[in-house]
């Protein structure tokens, strides 16, 4: 039976409940992380926990004070949940909500922030996409304006991404490219994006309104160590259309080749050599 960690205890998933007055449910008021597990080991756990605490601090939620969990205790709870569910290759969803309040916005009238850890199996994309590449479309839904909400906060309110995801699925693609308020390339609904042009790897910089992905940063480090020129810069769709290669990165997705955007073939329409090399390096890093 699957076990969910909630507020200090492991309980059967059917018994893992939160109040209907919780601000996480009512307003998307909370933060989360999605983390991969390989061979029973949680991948880049410290990086994810650090980002979780940073996201929480940005919305004025002190996890250690308000939820009673230090970084060390949080890491131990994640490992305990993975072990209890006997997850070898899977996924962890780590959630912190503001806690139960009332039918109003004031977070000062909430209490008992919820710490929820779910460990389960996941299959985001079929193997065919990794072998042959993804056909991507551009969503009309743009990324939230960074002046309204920092994209570096991984909050529970993902409606912006979900609306763009619906557009992608409607067009027959499991992902969709999102532009920012200036019409520049930002990211996809759940993944960061990279291109390769004349041997140089490029990806949107953080000021494009993107979530600074853990896997994104890992791939940047791998690319630099492998000797690839690596640039974080502004991109527009034209850059993708004329790129030699394109790929996505994400904790659940890992590295996904993209072979077309909006019906326009990228490169030769096949996953490229740089993408393949980075995939191999990533597999070595995660221990496969």
> Do 77 and 7 share a structural domain?
yes
First-residue to last-residue Cα distance in the chain: 28
Angle of helix 45-58 versus helix 214-225 axis, rounded to 10: 130
On whether the CB atoms of residues 16 and 97 are closer than 8 A, the answer is no
Question: Of the residues 94, 120, 146, which one is the last residue of a structural domain?
Answer: 120
Domain span holding position 18: 3-120
> Do 197 and 175 share a structural domain?
yes
Which runs of consecutive H residues, i.e. helices, occur in 125-213? 127-132, 159-170
Question: Of the residues 100, 120, 140, which one is the last residue of a structural domain?
Answer: 120
Overall number of domains in the chain: 2
Residues 6+ apart with CB under 8 A from 179: 138, 139, 142, 143, 185, 186, 237
Q: Which residues are catalytic?
A: 154
pTM: 0.94
CATH code of the domain in which 230 resides: 3.20.10.10
Residues 6+ apart with CB under 8 A from 288: 38, 39
> Do 267 and 180 share a structural domain?
yes
On whether the CB atoms of residues 52 and 45 are closer than 8 A, the answer is no
Q: d(Cα 55, Cα 53) in Å, to the nearest integer?
A: 5
CATH code of the domain in which 39 resides: 3.30.470.10
Q: Report pLDDT for 123.
A: 81
> Do 49 and 65 share a structural domain?
yes
> Do 209 and 97 share a structural domain?
no
Averaged pLDDT of the chain: 96
Question: Of the residues 120, 153, 168, which one is the last residue of a structural domain?
Answer: 120
pLDDT digits (tens, 9 = 90+) for 148-192: 999 999 999 999 999 999 999 999 999 999 999 999 999 999 999
pLDDT digits (tens, 9 = 90+) for 7-54: 899 999 999 999 999 999 999 999 999 999 999 999 999 999 999 999
Instruction: Encode 19-49: b = buried (16+ Cβ within 10 Å), e = exposed.
Output: beebbbbbbebbbbbbbbbbeeebbbbeebb
Residues 227-233 have a mean pLDDT of 97
> Do 257 and 133 share a structural domain?
yes
């Amino acid at each position: 039976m699957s076990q969910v960690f909630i507020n200090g205890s492991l309980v059967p998933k059917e018994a893992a409940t939160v109040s209907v007055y919780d601000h996480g449910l009512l307003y998307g008021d909370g933060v989360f992380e999605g983390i991969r597990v390989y061979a029973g080991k949680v991948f880049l756990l410290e990086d994810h926990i650090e980002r979780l605490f940073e996201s929480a601090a940005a919305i004025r939620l002190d996890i250690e004070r308000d939820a009673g969990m230090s970084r060390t205790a949080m890491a131990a709870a994640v490992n305990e949940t993975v072990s209890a569910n006997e997850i070898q290759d899977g996924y962890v969803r780590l959630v912190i909500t503001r806690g139960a309040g009332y039918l109003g916005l004031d977070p000062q009238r909430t209490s008992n922030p919820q710490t929820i850890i779910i460990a389960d199996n996941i299959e985001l994309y079929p193997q065919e996409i990794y072998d042959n590449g993804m056909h991507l479309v551009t969503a009309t839904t743009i990324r939230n304006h960074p002046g309204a909400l920092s994209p570096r906060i991984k909050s529970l309110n993902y409606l912006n991404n979900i609306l763009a995801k619906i557009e992608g699925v409607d067009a027959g693609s499991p992902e969709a490219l999102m532009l920012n308020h200036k019409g520049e390339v930002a990211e996809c609904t759940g993944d960061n994006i990279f291109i390769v042009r004349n041997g140089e790897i490029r990806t949107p910089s953080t000021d494009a309104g993107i979530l600074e992905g853990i896997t994104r940063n890992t791939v940047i480090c791998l690319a630099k160590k492998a000797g690839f020129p690596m640039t974080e810069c502004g991109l527009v769709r034209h850059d993708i259309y004329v790129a030699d290669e394109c790929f996505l990165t994400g904790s659940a997705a890992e590295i996904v080749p993209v072979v077309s955007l909006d019906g326009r073939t990228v490169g030769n329409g096949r996953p490229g050599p740089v993408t393949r090399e980075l995939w191999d390096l990533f597999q070595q890093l995660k221990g496969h």
